[in-house]
Structure formats: structure tokens, C-alpha cells
Structure 1
Amino acid sequence: MHLDFSAIFLPQYRTQILHGIEFTVWLTVSSWILAIGLGTVLATMRMSGSKIAEYFVAIYIAFHRNVPVLVHILLWYFGVATLLPANVQVWTNAHNGEVIFSSIAIGLCMAAYFSEDIRSGLRSIPWSQHEASRSLGLTYLGSMRYVILPQAFRIALPPFINHTVLLFKNTSLAMAIGAAEVTYAVQEIENHTFRTFETYLVGTVFYLVVSLGLMFVGAVVGRTTRIPSR
């Protein structure tokens, strides 16, 4: 078999790949921010002692962890989007709606995983620290913000990194609704060049390099932020 990568890296295809990388980065970052933010809120609610909040979070997590991410993406793009006001639909269609809804779907889904990571970290904090922070006059939210959550995040960092890599790889599912991320770009280039192996090899290397890079950065951050053994 004769390998030829020259056709894949012609200027028009190179530009398409770069645009795909741009959309992938946008999807990853926006989904990650949503997942971390919402995951923190969910974990805090579940540890608040409120039975109603605990049941709500448990249902949310069960729903998002037991339905495939692809189905969530399709639900948001073909389902939720149709329920929005007409002017909002027009705006999203004019501003890469497929990327916006994919980002929301992936972020909401991964928030369920991040919330469990954070809850695991919260449960590792000795209750005496909760009591000490409250005795200093901090409210429940204040003690969480300034005392408990910073430690919980450091403890939960290893699963954080694993789920961040999973979130990054899940962005490839956005191609199902036409989001022009890397996988979509690679497929389009393959359709034009018919260089199947070379084209998909480029996509494979991209995901491998970025995933390993995220794991390396996570390992470095984990070493520098590790809580010393007592």
C-alpha cells in the first residue's frame, strides 16, 4: 500500500482541519466550563443535607449517566431547539447552532460525572473542618467556598483529568449533527481525496496527542497541588 499524505495537506484541506481544531477546542472548553460549574453546584446541593436537593441531584445524575451522550446531543439539537422562540432559533442557526447545542448537551452530561468526582472529594474532608469553619462564623456556602471545596478539588483531581479527556473525546460525537469539528473535517476530506487510511490516521493522531497531553498536564498539576499526608 502506497501512503500519500500530500493530498490531505493541500491548502484548502489544511484550512478545513484548522477550522475543525478551532471548533473542537471551542466545544471542549465551553463544555468543560459548564460541566465543572454545574457539577460543583450539584455536588454542593447533594451534600447540603436537604432530601429534596439530594433526590433531585440523584435523578439528574442517573438520567445523564445512563443515556448515551450522542442521544443527548440529538435531543438538544432536534428536540429542545424546536421549543425555543423563533427569533432564538434564527440566531442559533446563524451562529453555529450545532456547536452551541452540542456544547450544552456534552456539558450537562459530563456535569453528572464531575459532580460525583467532587462529591467523592467532599466526603474525604474530615467533618471537623466543616465544624471548624462554621464555628468561625462562615455559612454553609461560605465554608464550602473558602475551606471545603478547594481541598475537595485537589483530592478529586485524578478523576477530573480522566473525565476531562472523556469530555474531549466526546466532542467528536457532535459531527452527527453537522458540527464541523475535527472528525467532521476529516470525514469531509476523506470524501474528496479518497485517502481513507491517511485521512483518518491524521484524526487519530490528533486525538491521541491531545488526550495524552491533557493527561500529562493533569499529572503535573496533581503533583504540585497534592495535599501532604497527615
Structure 2
Amino acid sequence: MIKQYIKNAGKYMKVNVQNTSMLHYWKYFADGLKYTLIISIVGSIIGIILGVLLALMRISKFKPFSWFSISYTEVVRGTPMMVQVLLVYFGLGVLVNIPALTAGIIAVSLNSGAYVSEIIRGGIASVDKGQSEAAKSLGLSKKDAMVSVILPQAFKNIWPALGNEFITIIKESSIVSIIGVTDIVYELNIVRADTYRGVSPIVVAMVMYFVLSFTLTRVLNYFERKMNHD
């Protein structure tokens, strides 16, 4: 009787036929890649703009600008990016309803700006002072000399360092997953929970980050060689 009961019960047992291969979840990883690229690209652009402003404020003779730039840079570089992401998301959330993606982009941009400002400041300092004197002798104002003469040469000198910062942003942007941004790390955790496979999704994410970093490194090296030949 017991055997018959088990036999009948077995007919109603659900069999797990779900496809748990990583290829089956490619759309999840594709979505994660999309948002990772959005955060990295927008964060890099805003970070460069902010970095230029902070660098110019740092070397300004107007002390409040210089103090603000120094304070901002030291605070950002001295605190974890995770804390900065949480501060932006929940801090701004008190004032306005801000989407997680927007908060992530803002946090990454603010963080990158501090590091880029130091890179650019070093690049400006590396330009020979004779360039400034030459620009002055041609009748250029300090502003025109900085925009037309100093900054272009500074960017050429700091291109490798800027490239490293771009790569760092791609990798460090994974921290935004803690506020629910659907980047690569967020999606890999969804796949892990859905498939009960702990290692495979992580390996896929590692490969994706490696391909992004490797590709960007080769592209940046190409432009660096091109600039050196010009």
C-alpha cells in the first residue's frame, strides 16, 4: 500500500526542467552591460568636466576656490565609494525622488571628478612654463592661453593616466548595484538566485569586465601612439 502511495504521489511531483545555462540568461547580462556602459560613459564625461573645473580652482589665486577644491578632493579620495553612492541616493532622496540609475551616475561622476582633477593638475604642472610665456607674448589672455595652449598639451601628457581612470570607472561602477541599479553585478546576483549556481554567473561577469577593460586599453593605446606620432 505504501509503495502504491509513493508511486501515485510521484506522478504529481514537479520536475525541474528549467534551463539554467548561462546562455539562457544572456538577456540579463546584456541589460547589465548596457547600464554599466551608460554609467561609465556618462560618469567619465561628467568626471572630466568636473575634474577640469576642480583643477583650475585648485591652481586659482582666489583662495576660496582653492580651498574648496582641496577639501572636495580630499574628502572624496578619503572615503569609500560605497558610502558616497549611499549618501547621494539616500541624501538626495530626502529632497527629491531620484531614480537609482541617476543617483549612481551622479555618485560615479563626483568620485571620478576628484581623481581626474589631480591628474589634470599634474598635467598642467608638467607643461613647460615657457609655453605660458610664449602665449602671453602673442597677446593671449590667461584664459585663452589655458584653453588653447596649456590644456591641450596637458591632456596629451596625462592621456595614459586618464585611460587608467576610465578603466577604473568601469570596474568601480559595479558598486552601484547596492542601490538597485541593474548593472552587471546586479544581474549576476539575479541569475545566481534564479539558477542556484554560485560560480558560473560570477565567471560570466568577470569575463565581461575583462573584455571591456582589455578592449578599452587597446583603444586608448592606439590613440596614445597616434598622439605621440603627431
TM-score range (shorter-chain normalised) is: 0.7 to 0.9
The aligned residue for residue 9 of structure 1 is 23
Aligned length, in residue pairs: 212
Residues 107-147 of structure 1 show CA distances to partners (whole Å, capped at 9, x for unaligned) of 11111111111111100111121122123222222111111
The aligned residue for residue 50 of structure 1 is 62
The aligned residue for residue 139 of structure 1 is 141
The aligned residue for residue 195 of structure 1 is 197
Q: Distance in 2 between matches of 1:80 and 1:63?
A: 18
- Preserved contact between residue 161 and residue 218 of structure 1 (Cα < 8 Å): yes
Q: Distance in 2 between matches of 1:40 and 1:111?
A: 8
Letter in 2 for 1:199: P
Q: Distance in 2 between matches of 1:18 and 1:177?
A: 19
Shift of 1:6: 6.0
Q: Distance in 2 between matches of 1:127 and 1:227?
A: 23
Q: How does 1:120-159 map to 2 (within 5 A)?
A: 120-159=122-161
- Preserved contact between residue 191 and residue 201 of structure 2 (Cα < 8 Å): yes
Q: How does 1:204-219 map to 2 (within 5 A)?
A: 204-219=206-221
Q: How does 1:1-230 map to 2 (within 5 A)?
A: 7-10=21-24, 13-84=25-96, 89=97, 92=98, 97-226=99-228
Q: Which runs of 5+ in 1 are unaligned?
A: none
Determine which structure has more spread, i.e. the larger CA radius of gyration. 2
Residues 60-98 of structure 1 show CA distances to partners (whole Å, capped at 9, x for unaligned) of 1001100111110000001122123xxxx2xx4xxxx11
Using the size of structure 1 for normalisation, the TM-score is 0.88
Identity, % of aligned positions: 32
- Preserved contact between residue 155 and residue 226 of structure 1 (Cα < 8 Å): no
Q: Which runs of 5+ in 2 are unaligned?
A: 1-18
Aligned structure 1 segments of 4 or more residues deviating by more than 3 angstroms: none
- Preserved contact between residue 47 and residue 109 of structure 2 (Cα < 8 Å): yes
Letter in 1 for 2:38: W
- Preserved contact between residue 154 and residue 227 of structure 1 (Cα < 8 Å): no
Residues 30-73 of structure 1 show CA distances to partners (whole Å, capped at 9, x for unaligned) of 10011000001111222233322221111010011001111100
Using the size of structure 2 for normalisation, the TM-score is 0.88
Q: Distance in 1 between matches of 2:75 and 2:218?
A: 31
Letter in 2 for 1:186: L
